[in-house]
């Protein structure tokens, strides 16, 4: 696609849009988020190797010694795999300081932060436009003397275009022939709407058709994705995103949402491997401790779950309730929730998945029981279904191959919790103890020891742990614990209910172990 050519929803020319992920820099400005150096490296590895973003912005210069160590680790790794040119660091117009910091880290690209509005230039820097331009040029030429490539942010560009466009043009006029690779245009305060993005971007493209422009959106009005797409529509050649939409205040444009809309609505090319978007979302969710909303597009837990029975019925009849966002595309699968609105179609889908065959009358009785549980706000997982079927049809509950014989957990101030566990597995008893970071952690580590040392088997990985307690403040209220497990390539959930949170988690754990043991012995 030619320089400055616009991408339109009907344009079938396969334009390429660069994706720069800012999770490790802008995303870390989310309140309460601070990645350790090795966590930054793990995220960078997945973004570069598996998700295949074009570039990653990994830090701000001169922040801390820990930040410097993280950048060095990432740059060493990126150099080893031939992708050092994809690693970038935000630097400041501070003479030689930021550039020397970045050079010492082994990074070869600086994203230089200049002022994109007259207000910022005059009131924050206390400088004239000419003085600021002179300072920028000094930094650019010094970076180039160090063989460091330069991209430039025009901070507060959106307000600059609203209030002082002549200043913006003066700045870009002075910098357009200096060898800057990319001019990065941020909506720093998240104030723009798509119509303004269209207007301002087209002015930039018309005046500077030879330049490469990126757009950097913030989500204060919940318009980050819309504004990003308006920028592409107007000729932007790169977009900045973060995993799960992390970022200062309301966050940035989420990687998964931007990718899906670029592909489906704009027919634009990116290098993104869509089937890794869920994996990177879970990794960042774990390291950041910022939970992904269940209804977050693409990566939310519920977005590929049909709840209403009529939808499951429609899926049985030529996929009437499916769109281009098929879960398999993103490394996931469609699920059919069990609850009071499930209906027979949802339950039939789950029974089919489990290999259970019931008569229509039996299915109706199971449906009524699940509806009753839903009315009481109890969560029903697909793994609960065999037990519900057994109960409703008055069969014996499936034999437990794994039984908890006895256990003790102790908690003392200043000491790690200890768990002693005795279990029976397929008729044989095993006993051990372990310490952990919490009572349940100690209990699970003891179980892992039994499975590894006595049975020579791996223990499933806990991928999510959710606790719900009814409101009202009662200390004896029942705690519902829903744990998500990964066993090989299979994900599933089990539920435990008890007045004690640890006991509820233990019940969910033994339900999981029996499900696995049953599948092994079939």
Residues forming the active site: 25, 155
DSSP string, 369-390: HHHHHHHTT--B-GGGHHHHHH
Report d(CA 485, CA 375) in Å as an integer: 26
Q: Are strands 87-92 and 109-115 parallel, antiparallel or unpaired?
A: parallel
* H or E segment and range at residue 495: strand 490-498
Is 296 in contact with 254 (CB distance < 8 Å)?
A: yes
Is 510 in contact with 489 (CB distance < 8 Å)?
A: no
Q: Are strands 238-241 and 18-21 parallel, antiparallel or unpaired?
A: parallel
Is 419 in contact with 445 (CB distance < 8 Å)?
A: yes
Whole-angstrom CA distances from 66 to 33, 36, 38, 223, 285 are 14, 8, 10, 34, 21
Q: Is 66 helix (H, G, I), strand (E, B) or coil?
A: helix
Report d(CA 432, CA 452) in Å as an integer: 12
Is 445 in contact with 436 (CB distance < 8 Å)?
A: yes
292 phi and psi, to 5 degrees?
-80, 130
DSSP string, 346-371: HHHHHHHHHT----HHHHHHHHHHHH
Structure tokens at 227: 């504004």
3-class SS letters over 264-296: HHHCCECCCCHHHHHHHHHHHHHHHCCCCCCCC
Report d(CA 30, CA 32) in Å as an integer: 6
3-class SS letters over 417-434: CEEEEEEEECCEEEEEEE
Report d(CA 199, CA 208) in Å as an integer: 14
Report d(CA 448, CA 442) in Å as an integer: 10
Q: Strands of 490-498's sheet, edge to edge?
A: 461-468, 479-487, 490-498
Q: Is 485 helix (H, G, I), strand (E, B) or coil?
A: strand
């Amino acid at each position: 696609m030619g320089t400055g050519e616009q991408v339109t929803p009907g344009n079938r020319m396969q334009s390429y849009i660069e994706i720069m992920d800012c999770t490790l820099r802008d995303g870390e400005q989310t309140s309460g988020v601070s990645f350790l150096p090795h966590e930054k490296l793990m995220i960078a590895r997945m973004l570069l190797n598996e998700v295949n973003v074009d570039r990653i912005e990994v830090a701000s210069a001169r922040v801390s010694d820990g930040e410097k160590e993280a950048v060095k680790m990432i740059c060493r790794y990126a150099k080893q795999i031939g992708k050092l040119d994809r690693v970038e660091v935000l630097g400041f117009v501070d003479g030689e300081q930021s550039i020397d910091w970045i050079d010492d880290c082994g990074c070869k690209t600086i994203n230089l932060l200049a002022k994109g509005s007259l207000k910022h230039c005059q009131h924050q820097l206390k400088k004239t436009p000419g003085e600021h331009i002179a300072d920028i040029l000094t930094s650019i030429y010094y970076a180039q003397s160090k063989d460091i490539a330069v991209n430039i942010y025009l901070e507060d560009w959106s307000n600059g275009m609203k209030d002082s466009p002549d200043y913006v043009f003066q700045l870009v006029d002075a910098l357009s022939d200096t060898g800057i690779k990319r001019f990065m245009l941020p909506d720093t305060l998240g104030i723009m709407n798509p119509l303004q993005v269209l207007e301002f971007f087209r002015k930039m493209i018309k005046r500077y058709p030879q330049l490469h422009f990126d757009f950097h959106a913030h989500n204060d009005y919940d318009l980050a994705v819309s504004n990003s797409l308006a920028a592409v529509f107007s000729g932007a050649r790169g977009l900045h995103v973060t995993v799960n939409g992390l970022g200062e205040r309301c966050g940035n444009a989420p990687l998964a949402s931007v990718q899906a809309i670029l592909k489906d609505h704009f027919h634009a090319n990116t290098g993104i491997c869509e089937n890794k978007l869920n994996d990177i979302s879970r990794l960042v969710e774990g390291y950041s401790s910022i939970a992904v909303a269940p209804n977050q597009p693409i990566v939310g837990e519920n977005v590929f779950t049909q709840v209403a029975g009529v939808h499951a019925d429609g899926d049985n009849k030529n996929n009437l309730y499916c769109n281009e966002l098929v879960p398999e595309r993103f490394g996931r699968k469609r699920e059919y929730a069990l609850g009071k609105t499930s209906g027979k179609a949802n339950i039939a889908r789950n029974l089919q998945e489990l290999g259970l065959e019931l008569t229509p009358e039996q299915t109706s009785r199971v449906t009524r029981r699940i509806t009753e549980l839903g009315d009481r706000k109890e969560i029903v997982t697909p793994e609960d279904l065999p037990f519900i079927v057994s109960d409703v049809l008055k069969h014996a509950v499936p034999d437990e191959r794994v039984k908890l014989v006895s256990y003790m957990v102790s908690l003392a101030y200043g000491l790690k919790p200890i768990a002693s566990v005795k279990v029976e597995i397929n008729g044989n008893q095993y006993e051990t103890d372990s310490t952990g970071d919490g009572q349940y952690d100690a209990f699970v580590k003891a179980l892992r020891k039994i499975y590894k040392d006595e049975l020579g088997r791996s223990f499933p990985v806990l991928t999510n742990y959710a606790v719900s307690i009814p409101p009202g403040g009662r200390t004896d209220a029942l705690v519902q614990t829903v744990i998500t497990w990964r066993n090989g390539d299979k994900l599933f959930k089990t539920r435990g209910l008890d007045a004690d949170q640890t006991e509820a988690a233990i019940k969910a754990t033994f339900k999981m172990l029996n499900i696995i043991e049953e599948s092994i012995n079939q």
